Amino acid sequence: MTTFALIHGGGGSGWDFHRLVPELAARGHDAIAPDLPITDSSAGLADFTDTVLAALGDASDVAVVGHSYGGFTAPLVAAKVRARVLVYLAGMIPAPGEPPGQWWGNTGFEAPKGLSDIETYFNGVPLPLAEAGMAHGREQVSKEWDEPWPLPAHPDVPTRVVLCRDDRFFTPDFQRRVARERLGIEPAEVDGPHCAPLSHPAEIADLLVSFR
């Protein structure tokens, strides 16, 4: 049995994975999805990492999944636990020394124009579920935005990237380019929007289990 450490994105919470966790359990695996301390202005990447490690406890067979902004924390956890696999799920892939606040310009990210938050992140998600997702959002006031990413190189663990075919925030072409430039790998693909763990949990669970 593998324990999947599911790390949420900016302004998110462990609730973002509440449909994915039972799908992983149905496939014989455990999962933890802690709330990172993003509402604490004194918390940074080290605190995010410690929060995930505490939730993992003594789990020894670990796969780490970073969704969106959680990509800055996921490799830090993967390096600590010698993860079986590290997965960027529509995730931000950091570079050594790069603060999260500089990632956007460094990668050439262009924000979508003329879309609401629901249209940007939850397109295709049933409206009640999308509205619940918005309601579970948290204000991110933590200090990691300007912190240099601390590793000297990407951790030496098997790594996969998953792009979401309907993602309007990190578009498929953008995700492919960043994965090639930063990791030299081609992403796997899954249907769904940026918040695909809400819309396509079974498909994502199948992919994650296959990566083991």
Between vectors from CA 35 to CA 34 and to CA 41, what angle results, nearest 5°?
Answer: 140
Q: Whole-structure pTM over 0.95, yes or no? A: yes
For 185-207, write each residue's pLDDT tens digit: 999 999 999 999 999 999 999 99
Sheet arrangement for strand 30-32:
30-32, 3-7, 62-67, 85-89, 159-164, 188-190
Query: For the chain, which residues score pLDDT lower than 50?
Result: none
Q: Dihedral sign, CA of 38, 40, 42, 48?
A: negative
- The domains of the chain are located at 3-211
Give dist(CA 164, CA 173) in Å, integer: 10
Q: Return the residue matching tokens 């925030």.
A: 169
Residue 123 has a pLDDT of 95
Q: What CATH number has the domain spanning 3-211?
A: 3.40.50.1820
